Amino acid sequence: MIRGIRGAITVEENEANSIIEATEKLIKRMVNENEIKPDYIASVFISATNDLNASFPARALRNFSGWSFVPVTCMQEMAVPGSLEKCVRVMMHVETNKAQKDIKHVYLEGAKNLRPDLIDN
């Protein structure tokens, strides 16, 4: 079955390395928490708020072994007034036998405020 795994992280500054490092940190955590192998990833959608334009967050996937054939796309998050700034969001579609309630969505840094109901700690 294909399940969606959500994640988000805020980035300190609009600088290429900061965007890539934050995205890499988020994706590593999503993969580890949900025991995901690259061959079981159907696709990854990554969005960034319009104040993050120094790099494509998807470049972070190039740092992972075995991810060469994982389909990924970047897009701009909707610019809703008052929404969280400098935020990268990830939607990963994976093949898994886990029940929906057992999927661990990951929200880090300032993004923890987006879904406090899904934060374990």
CATH architecture of 2-118: 2-Layer Sandwich (3.30)
End-to-end Cα separation, the chain, in angstroms: 28
The single-letter code of the amino acid at 91 is: M
Q: Where are the domains of the chain?
A: 2-118
Q: Per residue in 84-108, pLDDT tens?
A: 999 999 999 999 999 999 999 999 9
* Chain CA centroid to CA 97, Å: 21
Q: Per residue in 15-43, pLDDT tens?
A: 999 999 999 999 999 999 999 999 999 99
Residues designated as active site: 6, 62, 74, 77, 89, 107, 115
94 - beta bridge partners?
3, 41
Distance between CA 8 and CA 23 in Å, rounded? 8
Tally DSSP H helices, then E strands, for the chain: 1, 5
